[in-house]
Structure 1
């Protein structure tokens, strides 16, 4: 159980670190340039999506879908809370400075990027037949094919 929570915490920390790095680049590198800030934000969302796709691919091989969804959901929820409430404070901004529209837009964009990343990773895993369920079905088929058929006498 301890290893499971450690993995969730490391993933949440990595997602938070990507967001903080993007905020620091925007704050110190492109202060006042909105187009550059938008590009950095796009790269951040793509990086978050790629990280989650890779993690969903790796974790999906050995975990059932329910456990995978719970683990990924917990990591994304923790990272989202840290990103929305703590990350702006680290660069000297107020989380609610842009108003309610910007606050909720940030949440929806983050959730869309994370959902897309997890979905892409898991769909690739499933298409290759490497997910937990496919492996279970493969083992079951091999087990049933290995047993000789019982002869029934009448």
Structure 2
């Protein structure tokens, strides 16, 4: 079951939603809905989401091709965003559109931006260090080419 693609996507979506749920619960019960605490919790939440996606991308980029890990991370982030935007406000005691459509769509744009930024940073670090799948494949190819002696063709 853990090997199936939908399982990895679901686990990522639930983990990203859990970050949001913890941030909302801390603000609701610890700070009684303070605007300052809510702003700080939102910043911390988006930083954590970016770090989780960046770390996961860094790890996955070393093992498999981008065509294999990018849909998993993309759909997992999309699922986490949908849970955060549509279900998350109920944890705070509000509805998704309680603060208006502008706040709803602003949260979508922020979530998408942080997700993309975290994923790109994770991939760029893997490429920068030469640890991504393509760099490893090219290194193995060049080593294989240099280890075999040149074949002498007899005429």
More divergent stretch after superposition (19-28 vs 85-94): 85-94
Match of 2:101 in 1: 100
- Structure 2, gaps ≥5 residues long: none
Kindly provide the CA deviation profile for residues 21-51 of structure 1, in whole angstroms up to 9, marking residues without a partner as x.
Answer: 1111111222342122101110111111111
Which sections of structure 1, spanning at least 5 residues, go unmatched? Answer: none
Shift of 1:62: 0.9
Aligned to 1:149: 150
In structure 1, the partner of 2:82 is 81
**Counterpart-to-counterpart distance in 1, 2:75 and 2:57:** 13
When normalised by structure 2's length, the TM-score is 0.93
Partner secondary structure for residue 96 of structure 1: coil
CA distance, structure 2, for counterparts of residue 31 and residue 45 of structure 1: 21
Alpha-carbon offset, residue 153 of structure 1: 4.7
Please say if 1:25 is aligned against 2:26: yes
Structure 1 range deviating more: 84-93 or 70-79? 84-93
SS of aligned partner of 1:92 = coil
Alignment of structure 1 residues 100-119 onto 2, 5 Å: 100-119=101-120
Aligned equivalents of 1:68, 1:101: Cα separation in 2: 32
RMSD: 1.5
1:72 alignment counterpart:
73
